[in-house]
């Protein structure tokens, strides 16, 4: 069993992507910074306010994508419209329809390496979370990751997430029994998401699920 969540840069030479052999991971599901400044400080009506950070000041460079494609057999990359110059042509894009007509975007795009038709999934943004479950300005719903796993992952896959953020991805991996390696550079997000993951994992364990182990 490989279930690791690490508080470090995913490009760390010793423990990050450069340390893995080619095609080590069966699937990478990643949501890297888009470089559009969506890293906190929102003050809109009824929005949760997040401390302003600088992690979304720029998108990953070519080296990140070279390593990502080297270590994983297949990829699902959120926000890929912001760095399409690093990506090969694909027919298998995903559109997440957020199910609400708001001032913010109606949805988000993800590149996939799969030879599948473009898919649209409608999951209302209210599923992102509330209260203690809402901790990251670009958080995605657990339900969205469960849909991805059901439609793109195979039993026994080892999955990579280079920017865990809120922990939604790992909660979904745990719930469906997938092995994984996850990275989060920001210590605040790492600690808060680890608490969230443990909370969900404890709920799972009551029903015979797997207990989360923080490494």
Q: What is the DSSP letter of 56?
A: T
All residues at 6 or more sequence positions from 1 whose CB lies less than 8 Å from its CB, including other chains: 179
Here the contacts of 63-70 (C-beta below 8 Å, separation 24 or greater) are 63/11, 64/10, 64/11, 64/17, 64/32, 64/162, 67/11, 67/17, 67/18, 68/17, 68/28, 68/30, 68/160, 68/162, 70/17, 70/22, 70/23
Question: Which of residues 35 and 90 earns the better pLDDT score?
Answer: 90
Q: Where are the alpha helices (DSSP H) in 13-162?
A: 62-71, 142-152
Domain locations in the chain as residue ranges: 3-205
Structure tokens at 149: 């796993």
pLDDT tens digit sequence for 148-187: 999 999 999 999 999 998 999 999 999 999 999 999 999 9
Structure tokens at 203: 């709920």
For domain 3-205, give the CATH number. Answer: 3.40.50.150
Taking the C-alpha atoms of residue 161 and residue 38, their distance in angstroms, rounded to an integer, is 19
What radius of gyration do the chain's Cα atoms show? 16
Structure tokens at 54: 């600088």
pLDDT tens digit sequence for 102-157: 667 889 999 999 999 999 999 998 877 666 777 777 789 999 999 999 999 999 99
β partners of residue 5: 182
pLDDT score for 207: 46
Return the beta strands (E) in the chain as ranges: 3-6, 25-30, 72-78, 94-97, 107-112, 119-122, 158-161, 179-183
pTM comes to 0.87
Question: Which of residues 33 and 137 earns the better pLDDT score?
Answer: 33
All residues at 6 or more sequence positions from 35 whose CB lies less than 8 Å from its CB, including other chains: 56, 57, 58, 59, 82, 83
Residue with tokens 């109606």: 106
pLDDT score for 24: 98
pLDDT tier at 211, thresholds 50, 70, 90: very low
Taking the C-alpha atoms of residue 112 and residue 116, their distance in angstroms, rounded to an integer, is 9
Is pLDDT above 90 for 77? yes
Is pLDDT above 70 for 212? no
pLDDT tens digit sequence for 34-64: 877 666 555 444 555 566 666 656 878 999 9
Structure tokens at 56: 């979304």
Q: Where are the alpha helices (DSSP H) in 4-76?
A: 62-71
């Amino acid at each position: 069993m490989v279930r690791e969540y690490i508080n470090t840069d995913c490009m760390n030479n010793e423990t990050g992507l450069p340390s893995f052999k080619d095609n080590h991971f069966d699937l990478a599901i990643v949501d890297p910074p888009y470089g559009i400044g969506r890293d906190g400080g929102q003050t809109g009506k009824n929005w949760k306010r997040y401390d302003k950070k600088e992690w979304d000041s720029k998108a990953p460079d070519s080296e990140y994508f070279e390593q990502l494609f080297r270590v994983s057999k297949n990829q699902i990359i959120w926000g890929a419209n912001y760095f399409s110059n690093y990506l090969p042509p694909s027919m298998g894009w995903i559109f997440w329809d957020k199910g609400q007509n708001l001032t913010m975007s109606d949805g988000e795009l993800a590149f996939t390496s799969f030879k599948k038709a473009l898919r649209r999934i409608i999951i209302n943004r209210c599923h992102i979370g509330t209260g203690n479950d809402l901790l990251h300005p670009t958080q995605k719903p657990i339900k969205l990751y469960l849909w991805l796993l059901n439609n793109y992952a195979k039993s026994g896959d080892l999955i990579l997430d280079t920017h865990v953020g809120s922990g939604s991805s790992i909660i979904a991996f745990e719930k469906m029994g997938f092995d994984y390696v996850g990275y989060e550079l920001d210590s605040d997000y790492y600690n808060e998401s680890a608490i969230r993951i443990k909370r969900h994992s404890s709920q799972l364990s009551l029903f015979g699920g797997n207990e989360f182990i923080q490494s």
